[in-house]
């Protein structure tokens, strides 16, 4: 009888040790997760601030400073504007919109343009589509859809 009780005691001690190791690992992973979430938060704030600064109109009478190094400049659409003033990746998005016979979601733009369709990449693409819409190159429609605007019958011509 004693040997069975001893064996159960050994197994119990082993299970307690394993539980302790797993608790320590959980604490380690929780700290890693907290650091990663903090970095995500800081990067999201930085991206939002840079976007906000780049989208703000210049004060009256003051020339707008040149775009910072590495920043993509998307000029506002004006009558007579051609998509060729945009960076190539934005021109490609306008071509996808022109080829579509209906408004598209960001994931559909990604698929049609041959871009990655994983969630993080589509969210980045959605930001670019929103920027194009804010600058008048695309029209945002309810439900997260984007299409070429009609600009009073003067639609921007992609690739020109």
What distance lies between CA 26 and its chain's CA centroid? Answer: 30
Residues near 156 by beta carbon (within 8 Å), at least 6 away in sequence: 77, 81, 82, 83, 94, 137, 148, 149
Domain ranges of the chain: 1-71, 83-153
- What would the mean pLDDT of 109-133 be, rounded to a whole number? 91
CATH 1.10.10.10 fits 83-153, yes or no: yes
- The reported pTM is 0.52
Bridge partners (DSSP) of residue 140 are 146
50: CB partners within 8 A, 6+ apart: 71
Mean pLDDT of the chain: 84
Nearest to 137 by CA among 149, 127, 123, 126: 149
Range scoring the smallest mean pLDDT among 23-32, 65-74, 149-158: 149-158
Q: CB within 8 A of 128, min separation 6: which ones?
A: 89, 90, 93
């Amino acid at each position: 009888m004693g040997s069975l009780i001893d064996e159960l005691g050994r197994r119990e001690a082993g299970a307690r040790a394993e539980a302790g190791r797993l608790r320590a690992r959980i604490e380690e992973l929780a700290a890693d997760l907290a650091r990663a979430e903090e970095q995500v938060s800081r990067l999201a704030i930085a991206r939002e601030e840079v976007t906000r600064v780049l989208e703000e109109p210049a004060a009256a009478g003051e020339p707008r400073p040149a775009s910072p190094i590495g920043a993509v400049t998307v000029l506002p659409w004006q009558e007579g504007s051609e998509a060729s003033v945009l960076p190539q990746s934005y021109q490609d998005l306008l071509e996808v919109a022109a080829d579509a016979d209906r408004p598209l979601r960001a994931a559909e733009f990604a698929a049609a343009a041959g871009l990655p369709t994983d969630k993080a990449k589509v969210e980045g693409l959605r930001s670019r589509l929103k920027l194009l819409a804010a600058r008048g190159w695309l029209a945002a429609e309810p439900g997260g859809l984007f299409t070429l605007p009609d600009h009073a019958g003067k639609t921007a011509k992609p690739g020109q």
